[in-house]
Amino acid sequence: MSLQLREAVSLKPFNTFGVDVHARLFAEARTDEDVRLALVEAERRGLSLLPIGGGSNLLLTGDVEALVLRMASRGLHILEDDGERVVVEAEAGEPWHPFVLWSLEQGLSGLENLSLIPGTVGAAPMQNIGAYGVEIKDLFVGLTALDRRSGELHEFALDDCAFAYRDSLFKRQPGRWLILRVRFALSRQAALHLDYGPVRQRLQQDGIEAPTAQDVSRAICAIRSEKLPDPAELGNAGSFFKNPLVPAALAERIRAEHADLVSYPAGEGQVKLAAGWLIERAGWKGYRQGDAGVHRLQALVLVNYGAATGAQLLELARRIQADIHQRFAVELEIEPNVL
């Protein structure tokens, strides 16, 4: 058997919060066959199988009594190229940001607004990751996934995935699908998205009047680096709460008391509120209890200052949720998967 199983492995290097818990069993899958072998081995031992990518969307609150399978397959390919539209395929274990940089090096546009997002390609469709006005669904062509019930491969087109804000079919059916590779349609003719957040302002500050896709990527990397802590230096999982969707009437009630409320129209009588604004206005920005805290520059980010447990981070998150509900009548939803 090519799959190498290890017992009682610390998951600290495999989650960006740096929480030190242990997996009952641990293995890395570099091929489709490794994935199948892991499923067989987990069933044989009476364990569940927990696939992980870069661990950037996980909050581990205790030891994991499962076979933890790190998706480590690598490979980047151009499948179609008509001179304008280019379809690329990436294996699930490819780190996301280097994949974005690779696409730019090929002269392709589309992924630049998603620069510097942590994690892996295989995990990206789960959350329909998005940033600065672009989401996975805007570029998605298809993916190949293994059905854990039948053991068969299944091809998903865009409409099959039920993508929504930080959501997808794969997130709503946990434990069924193992994403193996993902395909995106990119372009050799840049159609840049510059009007969400401070992107255009950053480019102007840098004296760039006719930006390329690579210019946009560099600008977004600079913005994210200033706003978000590097997980290698300070444990975190990026944005910890989703921006809540609320009825327009509730948003107006909040605005009546807080004229500087940050919000965005979301259609169908709904408004998207900036969760970071709510948390900062409630006074949580920079809060710290022990080694669990809220980042001093970005209220949307919970951080591990060194030895915080997952349970301590979750307790802090619950306190923030309760306070925001009491103050604003808004429910904050946790974005990372809590295990």
Q: Residue 70: CB partners within 8 Å, gap ≥ 6?
A: 14, 26, 27, 28, 29, 51, 52, 53, 93
CA distance 281 to 273: 13
Looking at 89, 112, 135, 335, which residue is catalytic?
335
Q: Is 187 a catalytic residue?
A: no
Q: What are phi and psi of 332, to 5 degrees?
A: -95, 135
Joined together, the tokens standing for residue 209 give 């009047």
Q: Are 156 and 145 in contact (CB under 8 A)?
A: yes
**162-179 burial, b if ≥16 CB within 10 A, otherwise e?**
bbeebebbbbeeeeebbb
CA distances from 264 to 42, 282, 285, 310, 333 (A): 45, 20, 22, 32, 18
Q: Report CA torsion sign: 286, 291, 292, 295.
A: positive
Looking at 56, 70, 91, 166, which residue is catalytic?
166
Looking at 56, 73, 109, 239, which residue is catalytic?
239
Q: Residue 319: CB partners within 8 Å, gap ≥ 6?
A: none
Joined together, the tokens standing for residue 101 give 């940089």
Q: Are 70 and 52 in contact (CB under 8 A)?
A: yes
Number of residues in the chain: 339
Q: Is 181 a catalytic residue?
A: no
Q: Is 10 a catalytic residue?
A: no
Provide the annotated active-site residues: 166, 239, 335
